[in-house]
Structure 1
Amino acid sequence: MTWWRSGTIYQIYPRSFQDSDGDGVGDLQGIEARLDHLVMLGVEAIWISPIFPSPMRDFGYDVADYCGIDPRFGTLADFDSLLAAAHDRGLKLLLDFVPNHSSTDHPWFQESRASRDNPRRDWYIWRDPAPDGGPPNNWISDFGGSAWEYDAATGQYYYHAFLKEQADLNWRNPDLRRAMMEALRFWFDRGVDGFRIDVLWHMVKHADFPDNPANPDYHPAMGGMHAVLQQHSTDQPEVHGIAAEMRAIADSYPGDRVLIGEIYLPVERLMHYYGLDAPEVHLPFNFQLIDAAWDARHLAGLIADYEAALPADGWPNWVLGNHDRPRIASRVGAAQARNAAVLLLTLRGTPTLYYGDELGLTDVAIPAERVQDPRELREPGLGLGRDPVRTPMPWNASAHAGFSTAEPWLPLNPDWPTRNVAAQAADPVSMLALHRDLLRLRRKHAALAVGDFRLIAAEGDVLAYERSHGDERIVVALNLGATPQPVELPAGTLLLSTLGGTADPATLRGDDAIILRVTR
């Protein structure tokens, strides 16, 4: 069994994990200093959001060099040290590859915009103005406004799906494609265990650049990006050949290297990224739990439909949060956040855990004068800002929560003196203790790590399912409401309850989730 099927992935937002040099921003040496937390937690791999050289207009997702380390985070030597330290502890390390766009500070783009006949002109997407002199079509940036920026020096527009300082790469150009594949090889040669591929479904655009259709359900509170449906600017057929080439590169290296695709698409289209004509990404990210109503019947249907849609050799995966979306504890409340942890870590498939969720961190209110996120700055007041979920990790009750010796780049969670790693490590019923217990059960019981999945009929607020492997059967039952619920479960040994104590086999307490090893 490959490690990424049975293991748990832990996402680190590097600016916010641990600062080692007192500038208020996290770095690679800081991550290395905190690896033992991850070992004790029980995860198998870490995924680090972008650490490449960048002007940081979108905090690393605007890459200026695909084969280096931004000085804010350290050096290539620091990276090599971190990688070796992770491997020494049995941890895998994944990087965040950003292939859809680069920074406009990247030397490639500087050459591309130098003149229309520059050899690298076609490495980016340039189009003539519309007949009225405006943008070539109606495509909208995900950060609001037109996705086209006019360049007066050459008299054309370039395309940017995000900030105007993030110019989209032209993957139809074979030289650009080769250069980007070499960047993948650079890091694989260095020993990384895989990549999360940023906005994979964005990478190819319709060759004729037709207008996108208007969104009939649009209203301004959704944000400008939703005014049109991204029919022609995303999810084009040619992207699958690129993903297959990336997969072939990954598979050419030893050690079960893994590719994870960031893809926000309906389930039936998401499945295509496992591979149509050839294998593509190992794990197309399944974000359904992030947007799902916290309702047992709805979740049961969602899980069943996802399982049914998987291709024969497709391995499932689940995500509760990430650096772009509200934290699970803010969405469902503290009590149900414990049940959400049980759900994430006992469903069939690879779970990805976002840093700080193991403490029950919630979204942090960011004062207007401390807002950093360019999305919030461009469309203020819509609640689209991502700063609230990127706040520093609270390690202990010392100054600045042990994150830094200086004022952190974003505010800490207000309850950091009590909600921190040290405090929860000493509390056997803390959120951190629950995560450690759940990950210990995953390692101990193959049924939870790699076993088969079967929904169990339930009513009301109860979601129940069975995991099985060989002769082992484990039942998970969650009460997604605050009121006790009657249940009919097989007899078994209680392995875990989110509320602790003993469990009544006929009644599931409000806000409780239990894991039973079924007696044969």
Structure 2
Amino acid sequence: MIGEGAVTDEMAAAARAPGLPPPVAHPFIYEINTWAWLESIRVEEGQPTDLGSVPQRYWDEIAGLGFDSVWLMGVWRRSPAGIAIALANPALRSDFQAALPDWRAEDVVGSPYCVRDYVVDDRLGGPAGLSAAREALAVRGVRLILDFVPNHVAPDHPWTTGAPELFVQGTAADRDLDPESFVEVSGRVLANGRDPYFPAWPDVVQLNAFDPALRSAAVETVRSIADQCDGVRCDMAMLVMNDVFARTWGARVGPAPGTEFWPTVITAVRETHPGFVFLAEAYWDLEWSLMQQGFDYCYDKRLYDRLHGGSADEVRLHLLAEPAYQNALVRFVENHDEPRAATAFGAGRTPAAAVTALTQTGARLIHHGQLLGRRIRLPVFLGRFPSEPVDDQLAAFYRLLLAAVGDPAFRDGHWQLCERSGWPGDNSFEHLVAWSWDGATRWLIVVNLSDAPATGHVRAPWPDLRGHRWQLTDPTRDMSFDRAGDDLVDGLFVGLDAWQWHLLRLDRAPERADND
């Protein structure tokens, strides 16, 4: 029940990646807006480009930046019905105009989350193009992540006519009384997809997550996806949890089944695809619940929000959570749903926010365009980026940051929050947050998450530093310090201006006879 154009056994075998290195505990993931990225390559190369014809140097560049996985966002067939709905929507047209002032109707390629069919869009190269892209990544040691949307599909998805019982049903009265929430498809009234806190999405129809046949179809769909990649990012994963779905749809879907949606799907998929990675877009403090239901990683929206509008102490409290929880979070300062970091944080705060998010445990997500300091968030309906100048200063910073976190300690090392303290009458140390990584190398990170200077003592958690001198080098700021190990353990003095940081690698320094 995965629709026309299903991936055959032969295609799946051809798509299987060659041997990859063992997965790392704390991967770096690169999210690429596939359609707009291919369009930008077409313009640069002066010839049509799909996933199967991307010049090899583009894959080299991605691998060279040190990413462990690439999330090719939006490869599935887009919906013509969804495109028509988007073009008729004044609010969306206003968004298109703001992001891409010279937009044309042909730039509206449809939402990647209004899926017509889980088959790679022909305009992106089809299944064969994806197979070639996966192989190109795999030979460079990079895994591939794709999308799965559990909550809804496009109104012209094959299921709406072939299996309408899989959807939340409505009546003609529902359609007449609330045409924004119900749509007629081939003589049946179906509910539009929604989350409980917002109006319905007009371009998608709501799947019934309580229906056993839908859950079986979801297993088959995700298995088909798993034949073509190494992991899946599950859109709005919390919407199909039993309690959330029951609150959203009530009597229309009846009582909740005795089992949850995600354990049913994840367990079944891993029977045929062991090691397949499940990543959840998750909100409403449901991350831990989704981890318990089988997800490897869940979005860390709480850290993002605290970096954006909270205090250093709120960030520190968040980082006090149990390691099992911390290690399964996805840290970011932007993605396709959030404003660009350079806009949201501003040029002065973006580097400190990025250092904070991208040197934590768990998975670290970087969004296509972030590394160049892009400021315009592209609506996902559009298939072309606006012309923007590169922010040379931010681009240079990100090059240095990625080079630093390329150290294996940030992938397989041990992370630990560090203690900090101040002096009577000076509480500015509370603006500092500090943590460390211990692997083949050691790193000490301190960030001032405030608009004012801060000073304090930061204690490194390694007693074996005592009795030696250490060179502390920050490759992102071209700084180096020589310090005694006793000072590091007892409390290293740190003074940082507003929104500044130290990303310090520790190396043994030549011993000397004089006192520090």
TM-score by length of 2: 0.71
Q: 1:194 aligns with which of 231, 237, 242?
A: 231
Q: C-alpha distance in 2, partners of 1:134/1:101?
A: 22
The residue aligned with 1:263 is: 282
Matching of residue 94 in structure 1 with residue 153 in structure 2: no
Identity of aligned residues (%): 21
| RMSD of Structure 2 on Structure 1 (CA) | 3.8
1:239, CA displacement in angstroms?
10
In structure 2, relative to structure 1, the CA distance for the partners of 1:233 and 1:343 (3 Å cut) is farther
1:52, CA displacement in angstroms?
0.9
The residue aligned with 2:113 is: 61
Instruction: Answer yes or no: is the 8 Å Cα contact 1:443–1:449 preserved in 2.
Output: no
In structure 2, relative to structure 1, the CA distance for the partners of 1:171 and 1:510 (3 Å cut) is closer
The residue aligned with 1:248 is: 267
Q: C-alpha distance in 2, partners of 1:231/1:301?
A: 36
Instruction: Answer yes or no: is the 8 Å Cα contact 1:337–1:360 preserved in 2.
Output: no
Which is further off, 158-167 or 280-289? Answer: 158-167
Q: C-alpha distance in 1, partners of 2:216/2:376?
A: 40
Q: Which has the higher helix share?
A: 2
Q: C-alpha distance in 2, partners of 1:449/1:286?
A: 20
In structure 2, relative to structure 1, the CA distance for the partners of 1:436 and 1:256 (3 Å cut) is farther
In structure 2, relative to structure 1, the CA distance for the partners of 1:2 and 1:63 (3 Å cut) is same
The residue aligned with 2:296 is: 282
Rg larger for:
2
Instruction: Answer yes or no: is the 8 Å Cα contact 2:152–2:206 preserved in 1.
Output: yes
Matching of residue 514 in structure 1 with residue 489 in structure 2: no
Q: C-alpha distance in 2, partners of 1:44/1:340?
A: 21
Task: Kindly report which structure 2 residues correspond to 1:461-480, keeping only aligned pairs within 5 A, or say none.
Answer: 462-469=431-438, 473-480=442-449
Q: 1:126 aligns with which of 164, 169, 182?
A: 169
In structure 2, relative to structure 1, the CA distance for the partners of 1:146 and 1:293 (3 Å cut) is farther
The residue aligned with 1:185 is: 223
Instruction: Answer yes or no: is the 8 Å Cα contact 2:111–2:381 preserved in 1.
Output: no
- Residue 43 of structure 1 aligns with an amino acid whose one-letter code is F
Task: Point out where structure 1 has 5 or more consecutive residues left out of the alignment.
Answer: 112-119, 136-144, 213-229, 365-385, 392-407, 425-429
In structure 2, relative to structure 1, the CA distance for the partners of 1:240 and 1:7 (3 Å cut) is farther
Q: C-alpha distance in 1, partners of 2:274/2:174?
A: 54
In structure 2, relative to structure 1, the CA distance for the partners of 1:157 and 1:43 (3 Å cut) is closer
The residue aligned with 1:117 is: none
The residue aligned with 2:207 is: 169
Q: 1:412 aligns with which of 387, 391, 394?
A: 387
The residue aligned with 1:106 is: 157
**Equivalent pairs, count:** 425
Q: Which has the higher strand share?
A: 2
1:134, CA displacement in angstroms?
2.5
- Residue 183 of structure 1 aligns with an amino acid whose one-letter code is T
The residue aligned with 2:88 is: none
Matching of residue 37 in structure 1 with residue 25 in structure 2: no
The residue aligned with 1:372 is: none
Q: C-alpha distance in 1, partners of 2:245/2:303?
A: 35
1:95, CA displacement in angstroms?
0.3
Q: C-alpha distance in 2, partners of 1:150/1:184?
A: 27
Q: C-alpha distance in 1, partners of 2:395/2:252?
A: 42
Instruction: Answer yes or no: is the 8 Å Cα contact 1:496–1:516 preserved in 2.
Output: yes
Q: C-alpha distance in 2, partners of 1:30/1:44?
A: 22
Secondary structure of residue in 1 paired with 2:78: coil
In structure 2, relative to structure 1, the CA distance for the partners of 1:328 and 1:518 (3 Å cut) is same
- Residue 271 of structure 1 aligns with an amino acid whose one-letter code is W
Secondary structure of residue in 1 paired with 2:434: strand
1:197, CA displacement in angstroms?
0.5
The residue aligned with 1:457 is: 420
- Residue 128 of structure 1 aligns with an amino acid whose one-letter code is T
The residue aligned with 1:50 is: 74
Q: C-alpha distance in 2, partners of 1:196/1:24?
A: 31
Task: Kindly report which structure 2 residues correspond to 1:4-19, keeping only aligned pairs within 5 A, or say none.
Answer: 4-19=24-39
1:4, CA displacement in angstroms?
4.8
Task: Point out where structure 2 has 5 or more consecutive residues left out of the alignment.
Answer: 1-20, 84-109, 195-199, 422-426, 460-468, 483-492, 509-516
In structure 2, relative to structure 1, the CA distance for the partners of 1:183 and 1:205 (3 Å cut) is same
Matching of residue 148 in structure 1 with residue 182 in structure 2: yes
